[in-house]
Amino acid sequence: MNERTCLAVVLAAGEGTRMRSAIPKVLHPVGQQPMLAHVLRAVEAAGATDCVVVVGPDHEAVANEALRAFPEAAIAKQMQRLGTAHAVLAARDVLARGFDDILVVFADTPLIRAETLRRLRAALAEGAAVAVAGFTPADPDGYGRLIVADGRLQAIREHNDASEAERAIRLCNGGLMALDGRHALALLDRIGNANAKTEFYLTDAVALANAAGLRAAAVEVEEDDVRGVNTKAQLADAEAVLQRRLRQAALDAGVTMIAPDTVHLSADTKLAADVTIEPYVVFGPGVTVETGAVIHAFSHLTEAHIGEGAQIGPFARLRPGARIGKDVKIGNFVEVKQAVFEDGAKANHLAYIGDARVGEGANIGAGTIFCNYDGTAKHRTEVGKGAFVGSNSSLVAPVSLGEGAYVGSGSVITEDVPADSLALGRVRQVVKEGWASRLRSLKAAGKKK
């Protein structure tokens, strides 16, 4: 089957008014990635050699996202919403190039899996001219019904056009379709709009195929695969399903999660075997965690790399560009942004480390702040290998501490500190002996007056 060429036609011209959002529907994220990107990844994994994304007018942002997720994708514009078949025909030029398989998928169906698309393609390889994903929803209201007779798929009847008897059918159209490329254009061109919605229904391809003596097949799929998103509530439902899948995949890959239901993953989170994730951890996009690392409870990580055996949190925040080396410790209430922690370095409590390199084995004391921003620009801080920054210090960037240097607690460091030296940047302590009892006697004298 792999040798067959395959064009995926992704319909993304949806209006999404029921989302009540300024963002186009198919750009809403699930697992921190736009729905459209999920669908494009699935069609690619299902062996689509080419892809065309059908967008509505004024959908620059949708086209841009399509090209980000699938750089070779063609973009077709459907200027008027005249139905699903009309939308597919907006990509006529691409279809006419000739493909063995044509997959039609909706961009607001983010949970579609490559294996499900492959099953539709397999039905074509076995001789069907049209293959449709069928499913049995708890509530079939609104879906097209699959009319099967003599073990063959005869037609799809849209809900609005269906008779009472047809509406009693439970097997519904999930909206995914695979078409034999040799017949696709001829079938699509024959589709009319004489129906309840005066739309050009893609689903009519089934009856037309039968009429032309071709075979149509229904492939039964899980409801989650074809779960469409039209509202924010459905978006949240899709998120829940995706999270379950991602957690299950992580557990299967050897990740330990004590309370998986409380861990939020991104679709691109990469966790090695023997990583431990404690409860209530949130992974934003772009996080990789190497083996043996532990992410303690209530940590929040985005675009970060965590090395082998590192300990993160509890209550740690790793922001974009945090690169945490082997056996590093990032403790509670520590925020790291655009900073490299080399192997074995530590920042155990209450610190901000931004735009910096912290050398191997260096120790950043509690309450240390890397002052990286002067109100206009960001500046870098370099901390040498084995350096020690005493608690409650401020390192005012740009500044560097040499290898093995020490900074006394409570210092404000504004100048570079050479290797192996001690820097103190604080007011010298003054002690006034007997001062307290003098104060108390003065107060007592005052009261007697």
Q: What's the rounded Cα separation, in Å, for the pair 399 and 174?
A: 60
Stretch that binds ligand UD1, among 76-84, 91-99, 307-315, 438-446 (CB under 6 A): 76-84
Exposed (0-12), middle (13-18) or buried (19+): which is 159, by Cβ within 10 Å?
middle
Q: Pattern of binders to ligand UD1 over 12-51, x per CB under 6 A?
A: -xx-------------------------------------
What one-character DSSP code corresponds to residue 228?
Answer: -
Helices (H), 5-145: 35-45, 60-69, 84-89, 92-95, 114-125
Q: Does 76 sit near ligand UD1 (CB under 6 A)? A: no
Omega cis (within 30) before 398: yes
Quote the least distance from Cβ 335 to ligand UD1, whole Å. Answer: 40
Q: Pattern of binders to ligand UD1 over 93-132, x per CB under 6 A?
A: -------------xxx------------------------
Please list every residue from 136 through 175 that binds ligand UD1, using CB under 6 A: 143-144, 156, 158, 172-175
Query: Catalytic pick from 159, 183, 349, 379?
Result: 349
Q: Does 54 sit near ligand UD1 (CB under 6 A)? A: yes
Quote the least distance from Cβ 350 to ligand UD1, whole Å. Answer: 49
Q: Pattern of binders to ligand UD1 over 173-212, x per CB under 6 A?
A: xxx-------------------------xxx---------
Quote the least distance from Cβ 226 to ligand UD1, whole Å. Answer: 7
Q: Does 307 sit near ligand UD1 (CB under 6 A)? A: no
Quote the least distance from Cβ 391 to ligand UD1, whole Å. Answer: 57
Q: Does 86 sit near ligand UD1 (CB under 6 A)? A: yes
Quote the least distance from Cβ 245 to ligand UD1, whole Å. Answer: 20
Query: 168: which 2 tokens?
Result: 């009693």
Quote the least distance from Cβ 199 to ligand UD1, whole Å. Answer: 6
Q: Does 83 sit near ligand UD1 (CB under 6 A)? A: yes
User: Hey, is 118 helix, strand or coil?
Assistant: helix
Q: What's the rounded Cα separation, in Å, for the pair 322 and 305?
A: 6
Determine the length of the chain: 449
DSSP secondary structure string, 58-83? T-HHHHHHHHHHSTT-EEEE-SS---
What one-character DSSP code corresponds to residue 169?
Answer: -
Q: Which of 61, 63, 67, 82 is close enough to bind ligand UD1 by CB under 6 A?
A: 82
| 134 vs 331, beta carbon nearer ligand UD1 | 134
Instruction: State the DSSP H helix or E strand holding residue 233, giving kind and residue range, or none if neither.
Output: helix 232-252
Question: Does the active-site annotation cover 349?
Answer: yes
Q: What's the rounded Cα separation, in Å, for the pair 384 and 287?
A: 26
Q: What's the rounded Cα separation, in Å, for the pair 46 and 24?
A: 26
User: Hey, is 441 helix, strand or coil?
Assistant: helix
Helices (H), 179-231: 184-189, 205-211
| 11 vs 131, beta carbon nearer ligand UD1 | 11
Q: What's the rounded Cα separation, in Å, for the pair 15 and 22?
A: 11
Which of the residues are catalytic? 349
- What are the residues binding ligand UD1 (CB under 6 A)? 11, 13-14, 54, 78, 81-84, 86-87, 106-108, 143-144, 156, 158, 172-175, 201-203, 228
